[in-house]
Amino acid sequence: MSGINGINNYSWLFNTNNQKKNSAAQLWNAYGNFQNNATSSLAGITEVNANLKAVMASYDDAKAAFNSEFKETMEDLSSSAAKVKDYNFSVEQEGAITTKTETDEDGNVTTTTTYSKDLQAALDTVKAFVDDYNSAVKFFGDHKDVSNRIGQMATTFGDTTYRANLYDSIGLTVGSNGSLSINEAQLANSIVNNPDKVSSILGKDGLAGKAESHISFANSQADKLFPTAQAMLGDQLDTAALYTGNAYRNMAALGNMGNLINMMF
């Protein structure tokens, strides 16, 4: 009897028990349904993973472009500020500004103003500096919503508004965002008639000196200005990472379970 019982006890291994066959069939059907759902889920996860890679690639491109433009903007402004900081605005007054008026046969009057070589050089130096300063104001202003640190830089470079009246006195008009525009005729007259004032307002103790201070501050924050992917994408990045990490391992585990069922039955 014990031998017979022994055979009966292990007969399920050889598929001789109809009830066991039915149980196995039910288990296999249940697994089949679950695997179909898992396959569908895996397709969705694969799409999530592809989208995540695309988002991260875009993030890397945006960060690289920002850092490249930031570096170029700071270098250009640093170069032009250095020239203005110690620039000698004293020019020979005699012949510095020449005005010529002509009237054509129809009575139209044309006035032409020319500047001496030294005065023109001084004007060009200030123009280059103003252009580079405006580029910095625009750069940080365009990106101020990307991070609080960039917003702080936009405020820092826009502080020309606090000395608007002073800049205006030599021919520089300050816009609402801190950018500058030049009244060339007024600036030329200021350089010719009061070069020390121009040096004081624009030189090492003026705007050029402040620009260098702003540049130094910005460079000290360079690696923190553009937010991390986590800070920019937040919970969405965590969710995507969850589904593209553990979920793949779970899908693999389901596949292994199917192989095990095949071996058993």
Residue 264 lies in a domain: no
Predicted local distance difference test score (pLDDT) of residue 49: 61
Residue 103 lies in a domain: yes
Q: Is residue 257 a part of any domain in this protein? A: no
At residue 190, the pLDDT reads 97
Q: Please state, in angstroms and rounded to a whole number, the distance separating the CA atoms of residues 104 and 245.
A: 81
The bridge status of strand 172-174 relative to strand 180-182 is antiparallel
pLDDT for 245: 46
Q: Is residue 205 part of a domain?
A: yes
134 falls within a domain: yes
Q: Is residue 170 part of a domain?
A: yes
Q: Block means of pLDDT (10 residues each) for the chain, length 265 residues? A: 44 49 55 54 58 72 91 98 95 90 84 93 97 97 92 95 95 96 97 96 96 97 86 57 45 44 43
Domain, as residue range, for 119: 45-239
Tell whether 255 is covered by a domain. no
How many domains is the chain partitioned into structurally?
1
Q: Which residue from 15, 32, 34, 11 is spatially nearest to 23, judged by alpha carbons?
A: 15
Q: What is the pLDDT of residue 196?
A: 96
Residue 208 falls inside a structural domain? yes
Per DSSP, the three-state class of 102 is: strand
Query: CB of 187 within 8 A of CB of 118?
Result: no
Distance, in Å, from the CA atom of 87 to the CA atom of 250, rounded to the nearest integer, reads 69
Nearest by Cα to 258 from 17, 41, 38: 38
